[in-house]
Amino acid sequence: MATAELAGKHLVLGMTGGIACYKIAELTRLLTKAGATVQVVMTDAATQFITPVTMQALSGRPVYTSQWDARVPNNMAHIDLSREADAIVIAPASTDFLAKLAHGMADDLLSTLCVARDCPLLVVPAMNRQMWQHPATQRNVAQLRADGVQVLGPDSGPQACGEVGDGRMLEAAATYEAIASFFAPKLLAGRRVLLTAGPTFEPLDPVRGITNRSSGKMGFALARAAQQAGAEVHLVAGPVALETPWGVFRQDVQTAQQMHDAVMHAVADADIFIGVAAVADWRVDHASEHKIKKTADRALPSFAFVENPDILASVAKLPHPPFAVGFAAESGDLEVHGEEKRVRKNVPLLIGNLGPLTFGLDDNEVILFEAGGATKLPRADKQTLARALIAEIAKRLPDTSLIR
């Protein structure tokens, strides 16, 4: 999560009854950490699962549970609480509350707020699998979708009742991601983005290999930002220890050749290709099938190397290439190497940074190289930078009709 990604956003977080209420403590923390203000409103049932005191401490604001609460200045809690809201999020959303929403009922503070709102409504269902699958629930959810309500989840898996199936509430982190995605400007709506990220691993034998220090953070941040911008995202990742960004299709590979094959297989469907991976330039010609052992005479092993395919250049060479963006991590003379590399790889845009010095770090400073010249972007954390880069890429895209 980027620092202050939701700065200036005001959310009404409506909690209804369900064991998943415990997840909302963490969700509130994530939302406030990202800069959002969170006004918690709870139904009576929700207060059976977690106390308003806990939610007040986490949100830093008084919690409301009743439409008769005299603390709201003009005694119109059902109107006032949502007036400054950018969205109402109902989490967890119980079977009963979804039914009430679908029918426009307004018999407590939270349901009245939802009917009286003039902002978007997001619901995060949480219930037993049979309650979720019940035709009435499915009808209600379909009605809510038709009314423009965003339905986030539910997840599938083990449930508090011991059963397994659909209906679990999304985890707090996934709910946060879905909310952050909802608010991001849809600069890449309808576009398909293919990215590579992380290092590659070139085996020497079954236990050893050559790799590099790329953490994959920048590529994963770009995949997340592209998803948030409304794109369909396919991320081809080398070996990294990072979670898949929410809503992104991830394909794991090890070697440069596998990364190349995965990209070439998928590229026909892409409008944009972003090569962020630190691809190994060479591999051992014939990796040993067995572990290479020390010999009695202590002879040092020697390896013959062959060059790996250049994925970015292969994409750029296609007869109808997507908008191809390269990355260059240089240890010096970035201004010279960046533009030289962009021309050599034949891409319209290359993003250069002093890579080896920023590998694994959370922030970065980059220069955009393109035919018209070079532009420096301000130093920022990788998530913020990723959003800025996606906006820069979106600005440079040819008209959809001219892309392919």
Q: How far is the CB of 341 from ligand CTP (least distance, A)?
A: 6
Distance, in Å, from the CA atom of 108 to the CA atom of 260, rounded to the nearest integer, reads 57
Give catalytic status of residue 161 as yes or no: yes
**Is 260 exposed, middle or buried, given 0-12, 13-18 or 19+ CB atoms closer than 10 A?**
buried
Q: 255 and 201 in contact (C-beta within 8 Å)? A: yes
- Choice between 36 and 233, CB closer to ligand CTP: 233
**Is 264 exposed, middle or buried, given 0-12, 13-18 or 19+ CB atoms closer than 10 A?**
middle
Per-residue x/- track, 257-296, ligand CTP (CB under 6 A): ------------------x-x-x-x---------------
Binding segment toward ligand CTP, per CB under 6 A, in 70-78, 80-88, 129-137, 310-318: 310-318
Site membership for ligand CTP, residue 312 (CB under 6 A): yes
Site membership for ligand CTP, residue 326 (CB under 6 A): yes
To the question of whether residue 310 is assigned a binding role by annotation, the answer is yes
Site membership for ligand CTP, residue 308 (CB under 6 A): yes
Within a 10 A sphere around the Cβ of 231, how many other Cβ atoms? 27
To the question of whether residue 311 is assigned a binding role by annotation, the answer is yes
Q: Active site residue: 21, 114, 119, 161, which one? A: 161
To the question of whether residue 274 is assigned a binding role by annotation, the answer is no
Q: How far is the CB of 127 from ligand CTP (least distance, A)?
A: 44
Q: CB within 8 A of 76, min separation 6: which ones?
A: none
Rounded to a whole number of angstroms, the CA Rg of the chain reads 25
Binding segment toward ligand CTP, per CB under 6 A, in 72-80, 152-160, 238-246, 323-331: 323-331
CA angle 172, 181, 29 (to 5 degrees): 35
> In DSSP terms, which residues pair with 235 in a beta bridge?
195, 250
At position 134, the amino acid (one-letter code) is H
To the question of whether residue 321 is assigned a binding role by annotation, the answer is no
The single residue among 85, 180, 195, 256 that binds ligand CTP, judged by CB under 6 A, is 256
Helix orientation angle between 172-183 and 217-228, rounded to the nearest 10 degrees: 60
Site membership for ligand CTP, residue 328 (CB under 6 A): yes
Going by the annotation, the residues of the binding site for CTP are: 281, 291, 309-312, 327, 341, 345
* Residues recognised as catalytic: 161
Q: Which residues contact ligand CTP by CB under 6 A?
A: 196, 256, 275, 277, 279, 281, 308, 310-312, 326-329, 341, 345
